[in-house]
Amino acid sequence: MPNPKHYLGTGKLKELKRLIQVYEPDVVFIRHNLTPSQRKNLIRELGIEIIDRTQLILEIFEKHAFTLEGKLEVELARLRYELPFFKGKGGELSNPGGGIGTRGPGEKRLELDRRKALQRMAFLKKELKKLQLDRQIMRKKRQKVGMPLIALVGYTNAGKSSLMNRICESGVLVEDKLFSTLDTRIRKSKLPSGREVLIIDTVGFIRELPHQLVESFRSTLEEISYADFLLVVVDASTPNEDGRLRVINETLVEIKAADVPKMLVFNKIDKCTNERIQFLEGKFPESVFVSALKDINIDELKHRLDKAINEMRERYVLRMKIGDYEEVLKIRGKLEILSEKFNGDSVEIEYITDNVTNKRLLNRLKEAGR
């Protein structure tokens, strides 16, 4: 049972004090989430900076916030996290000058900070709303361009960014105005069949992401659910792949991306023994084994990706007004039409296509307000 005052029990606290005396660290990291008062009490008790899980994760996200939206999200999350620290003790702040608890200058400052923080948070929320709209527009433009969007997902340090560099044309960022300067994590790649795809790098999943943080980064993570295909990147050289895969799948469910078709990519095989690779191959026969660093099997990965995207072909039936049929005919070449049934002012068509094209078609019809 964690001690409510310090989080650590008296014995642990004593031990920690001794360790601090011996090693004189600059900071102590607690691998759990502390309440503001626990952190305050610990800092007071130990006389040293204390960092808890949420703070550490915030730092990681800060490091990864390439986009304006990401940066604002991190700032908002940090303020949300820090807000309770601005609070004074038991009601003193809400009862200015009253009774025993006359406020000192320090508390006044705290109240000021708190008000400022709340103002800033309101501002950030407003800005984020605007950016979300921009993102929607961006997404629509991207769909019009018609390239499938492939997201690299997985744990931090699995090698997603390295893999992205390998798969994509020599470091060219997709800087087309279409994608705006907001999102520089998207790059273009040409697969062996000549099909062009967009690859998006994402922030690594972190185990037991604190709930308030999932909330804060929802829009960044949600982008994954709009991808047409996921490459789930796993570091093959570290054990417990099952645990990591479970967390990845749970996170994908949480961000509503569980239904996106995906392929498992084991990276860093240059660091693995042959036995380890054989073991994983036996366990995950559908996956691809690569080394982004040593450029092993990257061509194979591209071929498999090509094939997977082409195979996402299914049979669809769509009924619509005859007037809307022109939208369908615009991309007729990409549809294998099996039948057309005209009935009054509507038409029912049955066709086969890949689901990227189909999704795009449905979006077009939706956009046209139909």
77 vs 347, which CB is nearer to ligand GTP?
A: 77
Spatial neighbors of 81 by CB under 8 A, at least 6 apart, are 54, 55, 58, 212
Q: Which is nearer to Mg ion, 38 or 67 (CB)?
A: 67
Contact window for Mg ion (CB under 5 A) among 15-23, 156-164, 254-262, 312-320: 156-164
- Give the H or E element holding residue 13: helix 10-23
Shortest Cβ 233–ligand GTP spacing (Å): 6
Task: Name which of 81 and 217 has its Cβ closer to Mg ion.
Answer: 217
Residue 33 partner contact from Mg ion, ligand GTP, none using kind-dependent CB cut-offs of 5 to 8 Å: none
Report the C-alpha dihedral over residues 274, 275, 281, 283, rounded to 10 degrees.
Answer: -160
The binder of 70, among ligand GTP, Mg ion, none, by C-beta within 5 to 8 A per type, is: none
In angstroms, give the least distance from the CB of 199 to Mg ion.
12
Helix extents (H) in 146-200: 160-167
Residue 42 vs 74, nearer CB to ligand GTP: 74
Structural tokens at position 62: 């800060």
Of 3, 161, 346, 363, the one binding Mg ion by CB under 5 A: 161
Nearest 5°: phi and psi at 166?
Answer: -70, -40
Least Cβ distance, residue 294 to ligand GTP (angstroms): 6
Q: Which residue is nearest to ligand GTP (CB)?
A: 204
Whole-angstrom Cα distance, residue 207 to residue 185? 23
- The Cβ-side half-sphere exposure at 130, using a 13 Å CA radius, reads 8
| Tokens matching residue 25 | 């660290």
Q: Which range, of 20-28, 137-145, 158-166, 207-215, touches Mg ion by CB under 5 A?
A: 158-166
Q: Which run of H or of E encompasses 283?
A: helix 274-283
CA 268 to chain CA mean position, Å: 22
Closest CA to 174 of 162, 184, 165: 184
Binding site for GTP: what residues are annotated?
Answer: 154-161, 179-183, 201-204, 267-270, 291-293
Could you list the residues known to form a binding site for Mg(2+), using ranges.
Answer: 161, 181
Q: What are phi and psi of 207, to 5 degrees?
A: -55, 140
268 binds, among ligand GTP, Mg ion, none (CB under 5 to 8 A by kind): ligand GTP
> Which contiguous run of DSSP H or E holds residue 29?
strand 27-29
The helix or strand, by DSSP H or E, that contains position 265, with its residue range, turns out to be strand 262-267
CA 290 to each of CA 50, 238, 269, 296: distance values in angstroms, whole numbers, following the listed order: 39, 14, 6, 5
Q: Which is closer to Mg ion, CB of 114 or CB of 160?
A: 160
Closer CB to ligand GTP, 195 or 271, in the complex = 271
Q: Select the binding partner of residue 158 from ligand GTP, Mg ion, none (C-beta < 5 to 8 A, by kind).
A: ligand GTP
82 binds, among Mg ion, ligand GTP, none (CB under 5 to 8 A by kind): none
Annotated binding site: 154-161, 179-183, 201-204, 267-270, 291-293
Task: State the residues that interact with ligand GTP by CB under 6 A.
Answer: 156-162, 204, 267-268, 270-271, 291-293
As a whole number of angstroms, the distance between CA 211 and CA 257 comes to 17
C-alpha 151, offset from chain centre? 10
Considering CB distances under 5 to 8 angstroms, the limit depending on partner class, which of Mg ion, ligand GTP, none binds residue 262? Answer: none
For ligand GTP, the closer of residues 38 and 267 by Cβ is 267
Closest distance between ligand GTP and the C-beta of residue 184, in Å? 14
Q: What are 262's two structure tokens? A: 């995906």
Within residues 83-112, the interface with Mg ion by CB under 5 A covers none
